[in-house]
Amino acid sequence: MSITIKLATEEDVQAIGAISNHYIEHSTCTFQVTVQTPEHYLGWFRQRSDLHPLTVADENNVVLGWGSLSPWRPKEAYRHSVEGSVYVHPDHHRRGIGRALLSDLINRARHLGHRTLIGGACTEHGGSLALQEALGFEHVGTLRSVGHKFDRWLDVAHTQLMLCIPTRIVEFPIVAPGPLFPPPLATARSTSIHIWL
């Protein structure tokens, strides 16, 4: 059966939590160090808004991975920026699930009107950074020794994808034919252009 990317439901939260806890215990792809309870994940799910969806990769009603859009920073001026997260079940790597989840998040972020999508990863995870680059993210900086897990200091590379949402439309009137405006220009059917800000 094919894999479907869909909005998560409460029935998916247990599987999402299990995937997350695996990486908390075994990986530097998350800087969380304490395994979380099912109640924590359920509360986290219920607090999400329509602007910050949680998705899952589903195959035959089995969750193979999850993705989310979250606020980049809590202060109000950051409200048009979001951070993307993707985690794939360790038994289902190299099936294109991470790419499918991240591609879906990009589309959702655009349709929701967000201006920019922030990504990144611990520099130990070159595959994650390569996937982001392949989908259009640009490396915008690296923070040195900002994480400490498994008795070692960790660097974080940040990436960014501008979503190119038109934030203002400037209307131009139809121009009547005349000496300054020959018919091909004056009869153009387009009456507006998008200003990409």
Decide if 32 contacts 41 (C-beta within 8 A): no
**Which amino acid appears at position 26 of this protein?**
H
Q: How far, in Å, CA of 165 to CA of 110, rounded?
A: 7
pTM of the model: 0.83
With both helix axes pointing from N to C terminus, report the angle between 13-26 and 38-46 in degrees, rounded to the nearest 10. 120
- pLDDT, one tens digit per residue, over 25-84 is 999 999 999 999 999 999 999 999 999 999 999 999 999 999 999 999 999 999 999 999
Is the model's pLDDT at 21 over the cut of 50?
Answer: yes
Closest CA to 157 of 172, 170, 145, 139: 139
- DSSP string of 15-83, one letter each residue: HHHHHHHHHHHH-SSS---SPPPHHHHHHHHHT--TTS-EEEEEETTEEEEEEEEEES-SSGGGTTEEE
Span(s) in the chain for CATH 3.40.630.30: 4-165
Is the model's pLDDT at 168 over the cut of 60?
Answer: no
Decide if 104 contacts 69 (C-beta within 8 A): no
Q: Which CATH number applies to 4-165?
A: 3.40.630.30
